Amino acid sequence: MSPLSPQDERALAATLFNGTWDLMERAGRTAADDDTMLHMAHASRYHWGNVGTAANLARGEWLCSRVYTVLGRAEPAGAHARRVLGLCRENGLADLDLAFAYEALARAAAVAGDAAEARRCVEQAQAVPVAEQEDREQLARDLATVL
């Protein structure tokens, strides 16, 4: 049980999530930055596990998967990506969350050197109906960087 109030824990989870992105996008990231990025992603997921919705959990798992792909670590990236897909299926999450579950699987497959599986997962992501135009555009931009 966390000593934080739910409001503070949600804020911390979001801050850690956003800080992870800042590190992923940092030019000249160091090995120490990579370690911090990985720990921040897991910490964000941990805190969302205490106070978040199913969507928060799926997005936290997605972030862990993404960090592992940035670090070139296919096995944990795939494990977290499969967890994203499982959370989507278990909780009826669709739209962008489901599309990004397949994006995570595609990215993990690409890091593992399995281009055919990566292409298959990209196609699955593209087939998910995404309601918002801005979300569809973001998905397309992200999918274009997988292969």
CATH at residue 39: 1.25.40.10
- Asked if residue 76 is part of any domain, the answer here is yes
Range of the domain at 69: 6-143
CA distances from 3 to 6, 8, 60, 83, 127 (A): 9, 10, 21, 27, 42
Q: What phi, psi does 146 have (nearest 5°)?
A: -75, -50
Residue 52 backbone class (left: φ over 0; alpha: ψ -120 to 50; beta: rest)? beta
Mean pLDDT of the chain, nearest integer: 97
Residue 2 has pLDDT above 80, yes or no: no
Residue 78 has pLDDT above 80, yes or no: yes
Per-residue pLDDT, averaged over 57-74, amounts to: 98
Give me the pLDDT at residue 124, please: 98
Give me the pLDDT at residue 3, please: 87
- Asked whether the whole model's pTM tops 0.85, one would answer yes
Number of domains in the chain: 1
Per-residue pLDDT, averaged over 9-26, amounts to: 97
- Asked if residue 1 is part of any domain, the answer here is no
- Asked if residue 115 is part of any domain, the answer here is yes
Give me the pLDDT at residue 75, please: 98
Per-residue pLDDT, averaged over 37-64, amounts to: 97
